[in-house]
Amino acid sequence: MAASPEEMASHKKSYTAVGIALGVLTCLTLALGYWHPFDMGVPGLDWTDITLGLVVACVKSSLVALIFMHLNHERGLIYKILVFTFCFFLSLMVLILFAGSDPIREAFDAVRTSLS
């Protein structure tokens, strides 16, 4: 059924606000990657910069998911589906940790050299 004008007006306001916020956060992402004064931690790309960049990306994606995709007031069944998705996705990322104990890495670390 058609939504009430008041309901839609408040929706429009929140969509506009989120759209602007996303634009600002995108500029922030670019500044973090590009602009020297925003270079946190050690100069150059390091784990601080990577973490910050990913945090900003997570904030942006949360805004899209919650507001644009209406997840902030969705039904329980959708959340149940997404819990599984989240767990599987996390497993994919965690799998990489197992590569850290790959024996071939230890062999590389053990390469010796000396300077003449």
The residues that touch other proteins, with contacts defined as CB under 8 A, are 1-3, 5, 8, 11-12, 15-16, 18-19, 22-23, 26, 29-30, 32-36, 39, 42-47, 49-50, 53-54, 56-57, 60-61, 64-65, 68-69, 75, 77-78, 81-82, 84-85, 88-89, 92-93, 95-96, 99, 102, 105, 108-109, 111-116
Assigned token pair, 86: 């989240």
Which residues, at least 6 apart from 11, have a Cβ–Cβ distance to it below 8 Å? 3
CB of 30 to other proteins, least distance (A): 5
CB of 103 to other proteins, least distance (A): 13
Return phi, psi of residue 43, to 5°: -60, 140
* Span between the terminal Cα atoms of the chain, in Å: 82
CB of 44 to other proteins, least distance (A): 3
By beta-carbon proximity to other proteins, the closer residue of 103 and 113 is 113
Cα–Cα distance, 115 to 21 (Å, whole number)? 54
Instruction: Give the torsion sign (CA, 100, 104, 106, 110).
Output: negative
